[in-house]
Amino acid sequence: MLRTLTAVLFLLLLPLHSSSAASLVTDSNGILTGARDILVGVNKYDVFIGDGTCVGLFSGCDEQSDFPFQSADSARAASQILYSLIIADGRFKYAQNISGCSGDLVCTLLLPFRLSDPFTAVFHSLPIDADIIPAGIPSYEEEIATDVDTGISEFYTYTVWTQQPTTTVPEPSTLMLLGIGWLSRRWLRPQGK
């Protein structure tokens, strides 16, 4: 009885840590609409996948600071991580299973990373379709006017990356560590003593 009570107390005193792995987000029809907790470098991001314009989805799409990634390399790295997550899942390797893409061919996910002029952004473009695109990531860069609405295209959709706030990991106090140590010793001690 004492051993059981000690075990319960031990479990109650353990600090609860939530480890979060990246996960895909779908709507009620099973269409991919985004992802959560994607780790790019040292930051975690949530991703919305859907139609709109660069102006409407990226705070006006008129300043470099409107984009979550500031270089081709960082945009490519983020897209590759998202690509790996999508393909690994298996359900979304075809265009029609991704929000904003309804065609039978490739779905291209767009991620802007810089302006080439006041009305044109440079995008990292990531095509997805398991039958047409061979293994590997054949991504590329292209310039698209910032007011183009992907809602009129069957083959293009945006990825909007939102950085999660950074949090510090709380460390257990000295008293907590001593309590856990005492309970562990008590629990592991033979019954007869």
Burial (CB < 10 A; 0-12, 13-18, 19+), residue 128, is buried
Cα pseudo-dihedral 55, 58, 61, 62, rounded to 10: 120
Q: How confident is the model at residue 39 (pLDDT cuts 50, 70, 90)?
A: very high
Q: How many domains does the chain have?
A: 1
Is 154 part of a structural domain of the chain? yes
Range of the domain at 133: 23-163
DSSP-derived 3-state class of residue 6: helix
Is 126 part of a structural domain of the chain? yes
Residue 137 has what pLDDT?
A: 54
Q: How confident is the model at residue 127 (pLDDT cuts 50, 70, 90)?
A: confident
Helices (H), the chain: 2-13, 54-57, 72-89, 174-188
Is 18 part of a structural domain of the chain? no
Is 153 part of a structural domain of the chain? yes
Q: 52: which residues sit within 8 A by CB, 6+ positions away?
A: 149, 150, 151, 158
Is 31 part of a structural domain of the chain? yes
Residue 17 has what pLDDT?
A: 38
| pLDDT exceeds 90 at position 92 | no
Residue 16 has what pLDDT?
A: 40
Residue 178 has what pLDDT?
A: 76
Is 75 part of a structural domain of the chain? yes
Q: How confident is the model at residue 136 (pLDDT cuts 50, 70, 90)?
A: low
Is 146 part of a structural domain of the chain? yes
Residue 124 has what pLDDT?
A: 84
> In the chain, what percentage of residues exceed pLDDT 70?
79
Is 78 part of a structural domain of the chain? yes
Q: How confident is the model at residue 32 (pLDDT cuts 50, 70, 90)?
A: very high
